[in-house]
Structure 1
Amino acid sequence: MSPALVTAIVAITAALVVAGVAGMLHNRRSGVVREAEPLDIDVSDLGLSRTGPTVVHFSAVWCGPCAGVRRVVNQVCSDLRDVAHVEIDMDANPAAARKLSVLSLPTTFIFDAEGRQRYRTAGVPKAADLRSALEPLLA
């Protein structure tokens, strides 16, 4: 083999390894419910509940994983009766997406009854993680 061919094979192999590791790291973080920094913005136009926590998730018609979020959120909200659910179509309401710095879909937020952002996740959250984040807000 020529040195140029060996160099090309090594470069392609290295690029594939880096891409694979980056993909694994991205998938490990996807759907993880994380505590969020409080926002200093007006969220009164999002339709948040004033009597309990609200799950807000951004979706779009073309977003396949958004249907998974909808199923998980509907399941959790039906189990926890005092939790409200608001779904916002990012294409129909890009201003709300910009306000909350939504960069990818699906993105889900949990707000407490006072309208403070408490948790945020990108990707499809697990029902158990969502429930664990919401239950303390119901106490």
Structure 2
Amino acid sequence: MSPAVALAILVALVALAVAIGAVAKRRDGLRRAGGTLRFDAWDAYPAELGSRATLVQFSTEMCARCPQVRRMLHSYAEESDGLRHVEVDLTHRPDLSSRYRVLQTPTTFVVDESGAVRSRFHGVPQRHALTEALASL
């Protein structure tokens, strides 16, 4: 392989990696549909679901952004009646990551009073997107 071809391949790979990183960063924290998932409150024992909604945060011990999300969701839950914040540590319950299809931490679910997952956020939820998700309940 000539040096020019190798350099062209290298430049193309770097450009592709930058494009993928930019798209991933742009989508981080945006609201996504919850699908058909149902959250079981026993998975966060001894937690109960909120009367209006529950913010379920999936985290791990090594997650760098999880404490920031924990503080934000906790303060958000304190400001609203009928809203609870529950944290599930996947370090101690790795089986839940496959059950709820959690591929990264932090991941946050907005769960209604019946346990249906209405919205999900990957990464740090954007506050306005979280407000919209709760308003839609």
Please, what TM-score do these two structures have when normalized by structure 2? 0.88
Letter in 2 for 1:8: A
- Pairwise CA RMSD: 1.7
> Quick one: distance in 1 between partners of 2:67 and 2:35?
27
Letter in 2 for 1:45: W
Which is greater in Rg? 1
Matched-pair contact (CA < 8 Å) for 1:53–1:113? yes
Deviating runs (4+, > 4 A) in structure 1?
A: none
> Quick one: distance in 1 between partners of 2:70 and 2:41?
22
- Which structure: greater helix fraction? 1
Q: How many residues align?
A: 134
State the secondary structure of the residue aligned to 1:64. Answer: coil
Kindly state the Cα deviation for residue 75 of structure 1 after the two structures are TM-superposed: 2.5
1:4-56, Cα deviation, whole Å (9 max, x unpaired): 111111111100000000001111111111122122x5614133415220010
State the secondary structure of the residue aligned to 1:120. Answer: strand
Trace 1:1-139 onto structure 2 (pairs within 5 A).
Answer: 4-39=2-37, 43-46=40-43, 47-49=47-49, 51-137=51-137
Please, what TM-score do these two structures have when normalized by structure 1? 0.87
1:87-119, Cα deviation, whole Å (9 max, x unpaired): 011011122222211111111101101111100
